[in-house]
């Protein structure tokens, strides 16, 4: 389940990632901005794509936390598995 979600997340973030090598070694600890060099302006676009993919709505407070793969997975699972 978790691997499946990581794979989905990886697919979503791929267009925004500037450091493609870091993307290959994606783990739960990977930081979107520091490791993947995603332009911070694009985090809002990633969140819109996540909302569409999982059919959920993410609040502003949760958006602020979604800076790593783990944080994103936590937000998704809090919504989807609730």
Partner 1 sequence: MKQRVVITGMGVAAPNGVGLEAFGAAIRAGRSGIRYYERLAEMKFSCCIAGEPEVTEEMKLRYLTPLQLRNFRSSGILYGCMAGVDAWEDAGLERRPKDAEPDWDTGIVFGMGNSGVDQMREAAYKLDGGKVKRLGSTTVPQIMASGVSAYLGGILGTGNQVTTNSSACTTGTEAIILGYERIVLGHAKRMLVGSASDSGPYIWGGFDAMKVMNFKMNDQPEAASRPLSTTAMGFVPGSGAGALMLERLDSALERGATIYAEVLGGAVNSGGQRLGGTMTAPNATAVQRCITAALHNAQIKPEEVDLINGHLTATMKDPDEIQNWTIALGRKGADFPMIHSLKAMVGHCISAAGSIETVAAVLGLHDNFVFPSINCEDVHPAVSELVDTNQIVRELREDSSVNVIAKAGFGFGDVNACLLLKRWDASH
Sites of contact with partner 1 (CB under 8 A): 15-16, 41-42, 44-45, 48
The string of DSSP letters for 55-71 reads T----HHHHHH--BHHH
Tokens of 50: 């996540």
Angle at 28 between CA 54 and CA 7, to 5 degrees: 45
Q: Which is nearer to partner 1, 27 or 39 (CB)?
A: 39
Tokens of 49: 């794509």
Question: For 31, phi and psi rounded to 5 degrees?
Answer: -95, 130
Q: Which is nearer to partner 1, 28 or 48 (CB)?
A: 48
Shortest CB 47 distance to partner 1, Å: 8
Q: Which is nearer to partner 1, 14 or 27 (CB)?
A: 14
Shortest CB 8 distance to partner 1, Å: 18
Shortest CB 57 distance to partner 1, Å: 9
């Amino acid at each position: 389940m978790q691997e499946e979600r990581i794979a989905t997340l990886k697919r979503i973030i791929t267009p925004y990632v500037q450091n493609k090598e870091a993307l290959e070694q994606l783990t739960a600890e990977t930081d979107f901005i520091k490791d993947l060099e995603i332009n911070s302006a694009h985090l809002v676009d990633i969140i819109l794509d996540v909302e569409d993919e999982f059919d959920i709505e993410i609040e502003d407070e949760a958006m602020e936390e979604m800076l790593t793969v783990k944080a994103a997975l936590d937000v998704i699972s809090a919504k989807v598995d609730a």
